[in-house]
Structure 1
Amino acid sequence: MSPVLLSLASMPPLFYHLARRQFSPGDPSGEFSDQWTHPSDVFSVLLILGGDVVGRALAQLAGSPLTPVAFSFGWVAYSLTAVVSAIGENKLMPLPDCACKVINGRTGYVRDNSSWIIGRIVRDFESWMDGGRRDGPIRKQLRKMLDQRWEEDKAVMEKKEPGSGRYVARPSQAGLCVSVYKSDRARPGNPGYDFAYFVGFATSVLQLGIAAIPCGIFGDWGILLVTASGIILSFATGSLSQWSKEKWACRRNSEKTVVLTRGNGSQHAIVVIGHGQGLDLEDLAAGPTNVDVSTSHITRIAVILLATLWILLLITAAGIRQNTWFLLAVGGIGILQNIFVAGWRRRPEAFGVPLTPAGVIGKPKVMDTLFAVERAYPGLGRSMLDTFFPGKLRPDEQKKWDDPEELAKSVEACWANA
């Protein structure tokens, strides 16, 4: 035996295998090329990511028997989350993504909001407050308030140091702006037939068209089958009646006047006067806990069945090895639609809460705004006092609110300076 073979035979097994290994730097590039040519298992992995986006898109559009949330990445993850939520928490609707408060205009009772509808109305207020117009009454009042505050700030600086007023920047926020609306006839169950609603149908048609390309060219009908099945399952998930029950879990034909606001320090407060036509927004703010809308046995069974079908679809999609770029395109277009719908700014009527503008009140100082609101709507300004002034009032301010005559003088002075 040659000395080389003897030396190899005397090596430990690990070193022996290392000595026999083949140095192949071209293997990774070949694997990468194969993966980018025919991506394998990518779609099945992506199906379990992004479930929260799907949940928000469903919350936005749910209401009617047909909820057009497109088939996309994230549906499998969402289906499992829905099972846990339906069985463990007795609900399907997600929590609102905008923290705000609801104030009873008569009693001053403050409730933290847990309604998706109210959260979105407050979150998107600046986009719909003047019907999207730049010259609406609320925007004009805001500009007036900012200009008044700016002049006051410049005057203060001029007193301290003459000539320094011109260096004062225009403030971005001033006082409190209270916008008043009257409720029109409420339409609970209305999913909002706007652009965000109809784009889901267009997306599904486009997805089917893309999935049909490999079927027509190569005879590969697997991608079309997965896409069609995903669209059916996604529409079926959104069609559960539980969505509508939870989304509008409140009493109707309310006479209440309520205030919607982000709380102390916010620029806006939205007053909604019920007039016996609108939803009870204070009731709605409590969420489905105030009405018996817990998930029924039928809903739980349906959610479990849908989750099972989604998992089976995931397993089926994992077996596709050819033309997978078409499947990725289908999922990518779907997730774009989900993201668009989840973040889209909608008007209150899209949530079944049509509102008619009834005026706007705003002063550069919050206390002056509350005095003005009190004059226009007796009791309403006082109901907002504890929210915007949670601490102890100054003695002179407390006297004004405690003494009817002093309050009347303050209110009249506030309007005289308007």
Structure 2
Amino acid sequence: MAPLALRLLSRNPDFDMSYTSDALRGQWSKPSDAFSVLLILGGDVIGRALAQLTGSGFAPVTFSFGWVSYSVSALLSAMGENKLMPPNPDCKCKVINAKNGYSRENTSWILGRIIRDYEFWMHPKIAEKTNEVLAKKMEEARLPAKPSISGLVVSIYEPDETNEAKTVKNDIVYWSGVGSILLQLGVAVIPLGLYGDWGVLVITAAGVCLAIATSLLPQWKREKWACREKSKDPYILTRGNGTQHALIILGNRHGLNLEDLASGQDNVTANATPFTCVALSILSVLWILLLITATGLTENTWFLLAVGLIGIVQNTFAASAARRPSNFGIPLQFVEVIGETKVMETLYAVEEKYPGIGRNMLNEFFTGELRPDEKEKWRIGT
């Protein structure tokens, strides 16, 4: 027997238990509002995807959820902070001028990514040398297993003369963006072919055009490579004392000034121009208009959600993927690797082959008191 309260409510002409189930069924069959809500969520992913791909012509950053939110935040950043790139690198590191020993904290987003992804792109000989150093340390100290860190491994690179600096080399991240855009347009065509509904295609095409227009702003290149070119100074890139690896980039006429680049994020010469602010204002208005237009679609909205899902998956991949220095417009060529189980021995070896560089690494990688023989050794190396 039904409860008394339920029997009493059932006599009410407005009582209808099927209302909720019908509403939920209707929402899942035609999710008309879901896409417009998702357009204003997740702008951070898009910002990092743009930072990865922009700066050298067409950048395939896909139309996805979060673009409306990003367009507004980018406008506020350009007008308030005078920047488009992410405000802080996601991997802290130092850039040391190996010629004079001057050290500075890095603010460049792309240098931070190069160091973050170092183990992904480093030359195979560096991995071999690292394993050799760890195995030697295990043997010397009679450890039961290889230690995770021992001594210091220094890799030597130089600017690649066969590739132009400040021009990105396309990789799988780039081509996945191109493929995703084509796939999105293909999905958007389906409701037009099946039902004559051209709304999904128009929204998708407009979103793709606005995304590409945002990626083509000249401000991206101004910020990503805010540095002088043809620097002949060598540089040291490292996460700091206590790390396994240090990276030396020798100077030649094809190199970038990495000291400039390290501080370029805060350089006033890279501030957002009036053109950038005006362009972002127009783009923000257009994105909001696209959001309003998208709310008017009530049919075949699953296709629009599929377009957005493809875009957010690709943007997430682009934002987080490990890449090589050439993909950031800093092409490098491997020279050699030097490594010993003791930091001081590594610095001796670096100084012997590259006079002055080992000495300028000393203050960063060896903070203890030098023994008399070590003081004499460094005096001989001057």
| Same fold? TM cut 0.5 | yes
Larger radius of gyration: 1
**Aligned match of 1:110:** 103
Given that 2:169 and 2:326 are in contact with CA atoms closer than 8 Å, whether structure 1 keeps it comes out as yes
Which residues of 2 match residues 401-412 of structure 1 at below 5 A? 401-404=374-377
Corresponding residue for residue 206 of structure 1: 183
Aligned to 1:180: 156
Contact 2:168 2:326 in 1 (8 A): no
Q: Give the conservation status (yes or no) of the 8 Å contact 2:222–2:270.
A: yes
Q: Report the equivalent of 1:58.
A: 50
Shift of 1:284: 0.5
Kindly provide the amino acid, as one letter, of the partner of residue 52 in structure 1.
D
Deviation at 1:75, TM superposition (A): 0.7
2:146 aligned residue:
170
| 1:133 paired residue number | none
Q: Distance in 2 between matches of 1:111 and 1:39?
A: 52
Match of 2:139 among 127, 133, 151: 151
The residue type paired with residue 276 of structure 1 is R
Paired amino acid for 2:270: V
Q: Deviations over 1:71-112 (max 9, x none)?
A: 001111110111011101111111321111111112222111
Deviation at 1:17, TM superposition (A): 10
* C-alpha contact (below 8 Å) 1:61/1:192 kept by paired residues: no
128, 134, 145: which one pairs with 2:121?
A: 128
Matches within 5 A, 1:319-338: 319-338=296-315
SS in 2 for 1:256: coil
Paired-residue identity, %: 51
Q: How many residues align?
A: 373
Displacement, 1:291? 5.8
- State the 1:404 CA deviation: 4.5
**Aligned partners of 1:64 and 1:145: how far apart in 2?**
40
Q: 1:79 maps to what in 2?
A: 71
Question: Structure 2 unaligned runs (5+)?
Answer: 1-7
- CA displacement 1:237-285 (0-9 Å, x = unmatched): 0001111111111000001111111112211111000122210111111
SS of the aligned residue for 2:59 comes to coil
- Compared CA separation, residues 234 and 405, structure 1 to 2 (3 A): closer
**d(CA) in 2 for partners of 1:187, 1:243:** 18
Residue-by-residue CA offset, 1:347-400 (whole Å, 9 max, x unaligned): 11122211111111111122221222122212212212222234xx2351xx34
* 1:255-404 equivalences in 2 (<5 Å): 255-290=232-267, 292-390=269-367, 393-396=368-371, 399-404=372-377
| TM-score, scaled relative to structure 1 | 0.84
Structure 1: gaps (5+ residues): 1-15, 131-135, 155-164, 412-418
Find the residue that maps to 2:96 and give its secondary structure. Answer: strand
Alignment of 1:44 with 2:39, yes or no, is no
CA distance in 2, matches of 1:173, 1:395: 22
CA RMSD of the aligned region, Å? Answer: 2.2
Distance 2:117 2:135 in 1: 24
Q: What are the Cα deviations for residues 157-176 of structure 1, in whole angstroms up to 9, with x where unaligned?
A: xxxxxxxx6xx222122111
Partner of 1:88: 80
Deviates more, 1:35-44 or 1:288-297: 288-297
In the TM superposition, what are the counterparts of 1:9-20 in structure 2 within 5 Å?
none
